[in-house]
């Protein structure tokens, strides 16, 4: 170990090679479920330093676990007895080109920092979720993060034009173009995005920016059924020309848990409804954003007019439309408290699934009786990015039992597979879903993934033990 620390110290300097108690705080992630004690934490400041670190680690057979803001939920940065590579010092926005609507950001840039810099130019990087104040660009790329705006803008992969990455042997792969079209061979950029640091360490990226919304219309709707909610989504999309940015589902179980865990936040509507929908439209065109003589916004009027027929026929039971920035922030705070209120529920069995939009209702109808068979009296907590079919389904078991946990997860998997869905929507695989990968991923796909891993990291030094289950 002494020789290893000395070698890394020669590359980075003593202040940026942390061990013992100094490294201990890096061994805790957002969940607290995967504590570890890294052998050391390395804090490079440049791509060249990352290259030197990986070159030495590869030659010496030392495992390297890349880490960003450690806001992941699957244990992907667990580094017990391994060397953690923290990219927090690589936090420069190298370039921001408003005319081309691109930003070049290093892996350690915090997501909200990029939001702030883009806003200075009337632009936005439209990746938005609760952990934006600590999640980093390297982390969101490595997990292909989603969030609330996927419906309109796509997940992280759709927002990235190019990457710079360091391979396991220390070679720097420069794919940092700002091209919207580049049909020159295999798309290595998309291969590295979502690989959770198992194929290379992403050190920087060229990212798409979009015009910042000049007006938003935000509403919360109380409804009876999810099928009605999806009909509503289609109607508003047609009426607005596709301006819906977020369509979030918070059922009665979520509302009750929110009221219990965070009574200070209040609820969006006076009564708790079976289905509660947060819908938000964003616009940039003056016809939608310039206030009328009476101070009203055309975008808000558009949303109101789209909702009125469904209010009149009883499809929507109640609605509140935000009339100020403060009211909008309060609505979103209630939605973004999801992680906090889930942890407050006690023992949980979390899943992160994706389904075709027209099969979300079928999943919820089928999973509840299965849960009760396995654990009579168990509850559930659901919140969803409904517009893209991503459900965070959390079972609340009556006891902390690993066998019950596995049985509930497999029941979820069975139904999801039967409905043509995916067991992993936006959180990645890490450690927690490796068993599911073994059970559910196409065997040929796993063989191809293992071949790619072996080709790019033959010594298995990059984030070993994550994503891919053991062969055989």
CATH number, domain 215-338: 3.30.70.2190
| pLDDT value of position 127 | 97
Per-residue pLDDT for 400 more than 80?
yes
Three-class SS state of 375: coil
Whether pTM > 0.85 for this model: the answer is yes
Residue 295: predicted pLDDT? 84
Q: Give domain limits for the chain.
A: 2-86, 93-211, 215-338, 345-440
Coil, strand or helix: which one is 43?
A: coil
Residues 460, 61: Cα–Cα separation, whole Å = 8
- In the CATH hierarchy, which top-level class contains the domain 345-440? alpha beta
Q: What is the widest separation between alpha-carbon atoms in the chain? A: 75
Architecture of the structural domain at 93-211: 2-Layer Sandwich (3.30)
Rg (CA), the chain: 23
Rounded Cα gap, residues 62 and 49, in angstroms: 16
Residue 441, C-beta contacts closer than 8 angstroms, at least 6 positions apart: none
| Residue 95 phi, psi (nearest 5) | -160, 145
| 2-86 CATH, one of 3.30.530.20, 3.40.605.10, 3.30.43.10, 3.40.50.1220 | 3.30.43.10
Mean pLDDT, rounded, of the chain? 96
Lowest-pLDDT choice from 93-102, 278-287, 340-349: 340-349
Instruction: Kindly report, residue by residue over 205-255, the tens digit of the pLDDT.
Output: 999 999 999 999 999 999 999 999 999 999 999 999 999 999 999 999 999
Q: Note the pLDDT of residue 1.
A: 65
| pLDDT digit string, tens, across residues 67-81 | 999 989 899 999 998
CATH topology identical between 93-211 and 345-440: no
* Residue 472 confidence (pLDDT) above 80: no
Give the count of alpha carbons within 13 A of 211, CB side only.
Answer: 9
Residue 103 DSSP label:
E
Continuous H helices in 108-267? 111-119, 137-143, 150-153, 188-192, 226-240, 252-261
- C-alpha triplet 20, 54, 179: angle, nearest 5°: 125
C-alpha distances in angstroms, 436 versus 414, 426, 433?
11, 15, 5
pLDDT computed for residue 73 by the predictor:
85
């Amino acid at each position: 170990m002494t020789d290893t620390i000395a070698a890394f110290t020669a590359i980075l300097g003593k202040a940026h090679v942390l061990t013992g108690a100094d490294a201990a705080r890096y061994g805790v992630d957002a969940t607290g479920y995967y504590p570890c004690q890294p052998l050391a934490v390395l804090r490079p400041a440049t791509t060249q330093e990352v290259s030197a670190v990986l070159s030495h680690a590869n030659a010496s057979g030392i495992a390297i676990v890349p880490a960003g803001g450690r806001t992941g939920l699957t244990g992907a940065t667990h580094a017990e007895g391994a060397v953690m590579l923290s990219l927090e010092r690589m936090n420069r926005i190298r370039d921001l080109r408003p005319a081309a609507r691109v930003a070049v950001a290093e892996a350690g840039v915090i997501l909200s920092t990029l939001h702030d810099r883009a806003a200075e130019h009337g632009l936005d990087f439209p990746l938005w979720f609760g952990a934006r104040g600590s999640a980093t660009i390297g982390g969101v790329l490595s997990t292909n993060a989603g969030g609330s705006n996927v419906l309109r803008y796509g997940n992280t992969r759709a927002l990235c034009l190019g990457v710079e990455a360091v391979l396991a042997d220390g070679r720097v792969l420069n794919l940092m173009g700002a091209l919207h079209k580049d049909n020159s061979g295999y798309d290595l950029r998309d291969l590295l995005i979502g690989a959770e640091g198992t194929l290379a360490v992403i050190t920087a990226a060229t990212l798409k920016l979009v015009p910042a919304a000049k007006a938003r219309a935000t509403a919360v709707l109380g409804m009876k059924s999810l099928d009605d909610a999806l009909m509503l989504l289609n109607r508003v999309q047609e009426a607005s020309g596709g301006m819906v940015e977020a369509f979030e589902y918070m059922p009665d179980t979520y509302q009750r848990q929110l009221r219990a865990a965070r009574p200070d936040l209040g609820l969006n509507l006076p009564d708790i409804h079976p289905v509660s929908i947060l819908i938000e439209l964003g616009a940039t065109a003056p016809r939608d954003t310039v206030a009328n003589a009476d101070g009203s916004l055309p975008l808000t009027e558009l949303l109101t007019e789209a909702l009125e027929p469904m209010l009149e026929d009883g499809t929507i039971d109640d609605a509140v439309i935000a009339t100020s920035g403060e009211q909008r922030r309060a609505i979103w705070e209630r939605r973004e408290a999801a992680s906090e209120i889930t942890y407050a529920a006690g023992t949980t069995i979390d899943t992160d699934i994706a389904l075709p939009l027209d099969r979300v209702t079928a999943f919820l109808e089928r999973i509840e009786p299965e849960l009760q068979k396995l654990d009579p009296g168990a509850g559930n907590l659901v919140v969803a990015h409904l517009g893209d079919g991503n459900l965070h389904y959390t079972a609340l078991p009556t006891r902390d039992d690993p066998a019950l946990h596995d049985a509930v997860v497999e029941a979820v998997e069975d139904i999801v597979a039967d409905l043509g869905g995916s067991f992993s929507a936006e959180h990645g695989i890490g450690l927690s879903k490796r068993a599911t990968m073994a059970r559910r991923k196409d065997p040929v796909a796993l063989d191809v993934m293992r071949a790619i891993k072996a080709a790019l990291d033959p010594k298995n030094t990059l984030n070993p033990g994550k994503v891919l289950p053991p062969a055989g």
